[in-house]
Amino acid sequence: MSNLQYTNLPSDSPTADILVQLALDVNWTLTRAADTLWRRLNPDLWDRTNNPWAVLQTVSGQDLERVMSEPSFRTSLDEMVRTRSEENESPHWFQQAHPNSPLTSVAYFSMEYMLSEALPIYSGGLGNVAGDQLKTASDLGVPVVGVGLLYSQGYFRQEFNRDGSQVALYPFNDPGQLPVRPVRDAHGAWLRFTIPFPGCDIWLRAWEVQVGLVRLLLLDTNDPANIPEFRGVTNELYGGGPELRLRQEHVLGIGGWRLLRALSIHPEVCHLNEGHAAFAVLERAASYMDDTGKEFREALAITRAGNLFTTHTPVEAGFDRFSPDLMRTHFERYCAERLGINFDELMALGRRDPANGQEPLNMAYLAIRGSGAVNGVSRLHGAVSRALFEPLFPRWPVEEIPVSHVTNGIHVPTWDSDEAHEFWKAACGSDCWQGGLSRMEAQIRATPDETIWSMRTAARKSLIEYIRARYGRQVAIQGESAREIAEAGKIFDANTLTLGFARRFASYKRPNLLLHDPDRLGRILGNSQHPVQLVIAGKAHPQDGAGQDMIRQWNEFIRRSGFHCSVVFLSDYDMLLTEQMVGGVDVWINTPRRPWEASGTSGMKVLVNGGLNLSELDGWWAEAYTPEVGWAIGDGREHGDDPAWDAAEANAVYALLEEHVIPEFYQRSEAGIPQKWVARIRESMASLTPQYSANRTVREYTEEHYVPRAAAYGARAAQRGKLGAEVLAWEQKISAHWNSISFGSVKVESKDRTLQFEVPIHLGELDPSQVQVELFAPGRNGDGPLTKIMKGGAQLPDGGFLYAASVENDRPSADFTPRVIPYHPSASVPLEADEILWQK
């Protein structure tokens, strides 16, 4: 990489250059060794920002030379450089597991990335997933390049005024203080290029972030050549109205793929992390058109095989939609000049009913129709997504809607506390998260009670110290008296059961469920024998009045109840605060309305640190929960926003706390250890932490999606797209002649404990090799549906074909129905051909 344009480093010595390399690698800025180094240079700025690049630029040349001359500093720095070099150069999991893989590059598109507090270009869960997966791809050696946007303000920052109301702040992200560098071309010039926008082209600037072995490429529009309106396109994350959102997604998808081309990066796989990036499938097809001279439909048929769409949205209203008029303004010219299609053809790709000219373009639908595979982010969310996308596959059973799932996981080295880090290192080794995880469970199970409880006690103490310092600053900012500021530095007790709740304050997450009965909550918190303390954090979107009201209600409860020493609402829920909370709390509480938590990752972070979960049976907890590892609320069904059910679940949370959680925490052995509690911790850490780590997630994406998608794309693109053209011709023939298929009467015979089915089928203009005839029966007792391929026999005198199959005679013949579906050995059905015909 080239040197950063915005910098005025105090020294140009070789050691300073090493510090620059470390400061600009976000996979190394938050290691324990690096933490010590940066704190030596500017302890106050480091503790407030965790931004080594900002720290490095504040140090005078004299101070830097002085610190670098200290033997202990040089020893630590040399050891860190050696370790980094060894880890970067040693063989990684991907190279060892897939030495002859067709996969050389994955382009990972996301609207946000949570990599470091030094780079605030994230809002919450989506960015968390993206950042953790990039870091893990580096750990495992998976060849990924990230693509995103560099926001000049990012997501809002939060403070509270004196009445407890949220105040939204938008500080400027100075690129010179961020761990980013301009991307430069072969001649050293800053890489800038244009894409078509309404009225005139818009200039995009390219930046890069080093994430270990992985690069993250970012685009922004704050280029002096742009008109003022366009310079602000990448100001704010999730701000503004539909037009700003469309412009941002235009830049991300179209601009992002062009950036890859400008850098001669040619990924076999394009991973769309949510539908925001769906326009990338269009530009990828257009780039293939440039390379081969193919027309758009054929180019899309070839390139879609290498596209993967991950949806994170649990409700249909959550998908981005853009009106025909707004889309026409932005994309009519693009369709004509770049894709060679008319505007209505583009809109049809993003509509439930392609022929409905009034329907807006749905970005999730565009992503589905442009991808070779689709997945949700937990087992339950996969099922929810199949129901959401059922309208795109009419007459297909919901179980067969083509959406799989890969449950999210978290990057453990990012989210483990200092105490937990040493625990994992001692139990499993310092490199335990960089390869297979098969030995971890046994290693954790062998850990003594004393070791686990000592780790948890120390981690809770660290959290309390952090809470006191952060809350003291918060009270001072609110203009409170010196006495109140001093009292803020004394809140909480390091030996008291500490509950944590931190979420985006949105109605479906029910952040005020614990306030359903304030008096009962007060009795729980005020129990003198078994005291409880609660730390809360969370933001409400500036346009979400209901969410802001819930924040105010919590602050009013704290102020009026007299529990200000045992309940605290910390402002500005960010990555730094998250790390501290998940590292120290004893129990993490999560109360969404099922099934609106697609996955959730905060509870996974708690696992790593020996915390326990008390959560709704939703998202990841619906598949992870067993009575040995934590506590669950809900009955595993959906109840909408029924107030009576909300009340019942609030009472269930109170009862779990009163009757199980609190007594178990305070039930101690003669040695002062809560043995039953520690047993839960051990089981949770042993069985759940490896399973819900991003190590497992990224390996699963690699083996179930990246490698197969790369192979599928390579096959379709080979021989100048011969197979891709064949698949497109098959799709077109299926579409044109599907209505010519008809069934004859079914004949069923019971013989030798089997049911034997025969049915004549007239295929019209289609060939038997282009379809598949199946015998279908719905699932029973929670099992999936049963399908049996029916074999075709000789052609009948009337031109039809006789198909036959036999099944075990263990259910009524009326349960079975013959059906015809499209078939091509290299196509994904029904993703690429959604026709289906059932025998009546």
Domain-embedded: residue 285: yes
Tell whether 714 and 786 lie within a shared domain. Answer: no
Domain-embedded: residue 826: yes
Tell whether 119 and 178 lie within a shared domain. Answer: yes
What average pLDDT does the segment 667-694 reach? 96
Tell whether 121 and 84 lie within a shared domain. Answer: no
pLDDT tens-digit readout, 149-187 = 999 998 999 999 989 999 999 999 999 899 999 999 888
Going through 176-316 in order, the beta strands assigned E by DSSP cover 181-182, 192-196, 201-211, 214-220, 269-273, 307-310
6 pLDDT band, cuts 50/70/90, is: very low
Q: 0.85 exceeded by the pTM?
A: yes
Tell whether 123 and 74 lie within a shared domain. Answer: no
| Token pair belonging to 128 | 């968390």
Domain-embedded: residue 726: no
Domain-embedded: residue 694: no
Tell whether 99 and 84 lie within a shared domain. Answer: no
Last residue of a domain, one of 58, 73, 89: 89
The pLDDT of residue 1: 40
Tell whether 122 and 38 lie within a shared domain. Answer: no
List beta partners, residue 184.
190
Tell whether 496 and 380 lie within a shared domain. Answer: no
What average pLDDT does the segment 116-134 reach? 95
Tell whether 82 and 231 lie within a shared domain. Answer: no
What average pLDDT does the segment 493-522 reach? 95
Last residue of a domain, one of 89, 119, 149: 89
Edge to edge, what strands does the sheet with 497-502 contain? 567-570, 532-537, 497-502, 587-590, 612-616, 630-633
Last residue of a domain, one of 89, 108, 123: 89
Tell whether 210 and 340 lie within a shared domain. Answer: yes
Domain-embedded: residue 589: yes
Tell whether 683 and 790 lie within a shared domain. Answer: no
| Token pair belonging to 725 | 């053209």
- Please give the radius of gyration of the chain, using alpha carbons only, rounded to the nearest integer: 29
| Token pair belonging to 818 | 């013959």
734 pLDDT band, cuts 50/70/90, is: very high
pLDDT tens-digit readout, 530-556 = 999 999 999 999 999 999 999 999 999
Q: Would residue 557 be called left, alpha or beta, if left means φ above 0 and alpha means ψ between -120 and 50 degrees?
A: alpha
The pLDDT of residue 81: 86
Mean pLDDT of the chain: 93
Is pLDDT of 774 > 50?
A: yes
List beta partners, residue 762.
742
Expressed as residue numbers, the domain containing 826 is: 741-838
Structural domains of the chain, count? 4
Tell whether 153 and 54 lie within a shared domain. Answer: no
What average pLDDT does the segment 300-304 reach? 98
The number of C-alpha atoms within 13 Å of 328 and in the hemisphere containing its C-beta is 9
708 pLDDT band, cuts 50/70/90, is: very high
Task: Report the amino acid identity of residue 224.
Answer: P
Least confident of 33-42, 134-143, 749-758, 825-834: 33-42
DSSP 10-75: S--SHHHHHHHHHHTBTTTTTSHHHHHHHHHH-HHHHHHH--HHHHHHHS-HHHHHHHHTSHHHHH
Work out the angle at residue 473's Cα, subtended by the Cα atoms of residues 467 and 474, and round it to the nearest 5 degrees: 85
The pLDDT of residue 429: 86
CA 681 to CA 607: how far, in whole Å?
A: 8
**What CATH number has the domain bearing residue 289?**
3.40.50.2000
Domain-embedded: residue 440: no
Domain-embedded: residue 467: no
Closest CA to 735 of 839, 838, 834, 840: 834
Which of the two residues, 73 and 397, has the higher pLDDT score? Answer: 397
30 pLDDT band, cuts 50/70/90, is: low
For residue 390, what is the DSSP state? G
| Token pair belonging to 402 | 């083509």
| Token pair belonging to 102 | 């067709």
Domain-embedded: residue 832: yes
Tell whether 389 and 510 lie within a shared domain. Answer: no
Residues 537, 588 contacting (CB under 8 angstroms) = no
